[in-house]
Amino acid sequence: MESGDWRYFKPFFLYLPAGLGLLIWASAHASMSSWMGGGLFLAGMISWTLLEYGIHRGLFHFPARSPRMKSFVYAAHLAHHENPTDIRHIFAGLSTSIPVSVVWFLLFWALLRQWSSAAVVLTGSWAGYLCYEFIHYSIHFRAPRTRWMRYLKRYHLLHHYQDETTRFGVTTPVIDWLLGTYRPVSAGASLRAQPD
Ligand SMILES: [Zn+2]
Ligand SMILES: [Zn+2]
């Protein structure tokens, strides 16, 4: 990593302290057991995998027609497909992640009817989101050190270089599997540019 690249790691600078702050606030204001809190946090992490899939498939690969939508989709994701190792296009912009966080939070508030519970679920989603950003960054910039990371790298690079209409999951292939876009990682598949 080159010096100066740290400024692109904005999601970590925002959501790590914000998540910690929100958890401290929720634990001071909520009367929930630690089991309940842990369950809500975990539910938030799992809910992230749905969001990751939904945004990637439904928004980032949306067949846009209007010039405005086209330029949004390009800046948000297609620029990353064009230049997968350009650090400027790796992390989601705060202008995308903040509005999504607000909608996600309101959705959980509508479901749970409790600010503190919705806040705990949101922090779980942020934890999942930061795992995603780290894994996606690692896929394109670091050599995999574990078997699982090697698998995720191949899985995601096949989305890049073989078929952009399948394998939308980055942190897990489970949602692809549930929704019919899962394809196995075949050992012989060629991966341009980034062998693992
Ligand atoms: Zn990628
Ligand atoms: Zn994509």
Q: Has residue 68 been placed in a domain? A: yes
Question: Are the CB atoms for 88 and 8 separated by under 8 Å?
Answer: yes
Q: Which long-range contacts (CB under 8 A, 24 or more apart) does 36-42 make?
A: 37/120, 40/117, 40/120, 40/121, 40/124, 41/120, 41/121, 41/123, 41/124, 41/127, 42/124
Q: Has residue 88 been placed in a domain? A: yes
Domains held by the chain: number: 1
Q: How far is the CA of 117 from the centre of ligand 1 (A)?
A: 33
Q: Has residue 137 been placed in a domain? A: yes
What would the pLDDT profile of 38-69 be if each residue is shown by its tens digit?
A: 999 999 999 999 999 999 999 999 999 999 99
Task: Give the whole-angstrom CA distance, residue 126 versus residue 196.
Answer: 28
Task: Give the whole-angstrom CA distance, residue 159 versus residue 73.
Answer: 17
**pLDDT given at position 40:** 96
Q: How far is the CA of 92 from the centre of ligand 2 (A)?
A: 12
From the CA of 159, the nearest ligand is 2
Q: Has residue 125 been placed in a domain? A: yes
- Whether the model clears a pTM of 0.95, i.e. scores above it, the answer is no
Q: Has residue 177 been placed in a domain? A: no
Q: How far is the CA of 55 from the centre of ligand 1 (A)?
A: 14
Domain extent, residue 79, equals 5-145
From the CA of 135, the nearest ligand is 1
Average pLDDT, the chain: 92
Q: Has residue 113 been placed in a domain? A: yes
Q: Has residue 85 been placed in a domain? A: yes
